[in-house]
Copies of this chain bind each other. A is one copy, B any other.
């Protein structure tokens, strides 16, 4: 079965990377109650404390999960690329414990949460794909704890960018060398537990070291191996599929 032009394409491509999805599985996915929507930068897709009834997949654009600290500071806990399920983290939980926000213009696929939950138990391959997706997300969260807790500012930023670039190219959305990043420096700071001011300083140092090049808001990796080394980046925690 082919599904040319279906809004499910990026999602199905991702699930196929996680488990052997057959034609019947794909048909079941395509039959899910769903709708397609658009969102602009900063729109919320999930709000902390809400009770999500739909599960959201990203078709185009980028998104971030975040939590708010007591003093108003925002901590981003993960970034997401097209094909990612943004709300599988609440598939079996009542209330959202964090926010999901779009960080650029985005297209979204909204799927009924109960229907997806039913599919997860009725179709083993889909269940396995969702399990693996959730567990890989958790692995990424663990790596971020290490990143924020034990790396210095420069390698912390480099590591976060490495991950993003590797995941994006694993999804067939670009190469490591030529990358137009969708982040503001503030967002990089919110993801790494740094201030945007310090992010700026570290990016300058990374550029001065010849690892990256910047013009305007775009960023290019000049020396990918050196950059990975500066980040201390080892992709094992992505389990070759994120």
| Interface, chain A (partner B; CB < 8 A) | 49, 65, 67, 69-71, 73-75, 77, 89-95, 97-98, 121, 124, 127-128, 131-132, 134-139, 141-146, 148-151, 155, 192-193, 232, 236-237, 239
Contact = CB atoms under 8 A, between A and B. Distances in A.
A236 B50 CA distance: 12
Contact of A145 (B97, B127, B132, B145): B145
A226 B90 CA distance: 31
* Copies of this chain present: 2
A77 B75 CA distance: 17
Contacts of A71: 150
Contact of A97 (B65, B124, B139): B139
B142 A98 contact: yes
Given A134-B134, A142-B141, A149 B93 contact: no
Contacts of A93: 132, 135-136, 139, 239
A90, A124, A142, A239, most chain B CB atoms within 10 A: A142
Contact of A135 (B74, B91, B142, B151): B91
Nearest to A237: B97
Given A144-B145, A236-B49, A92 B128 contact: yes
Contacts of A90: 135
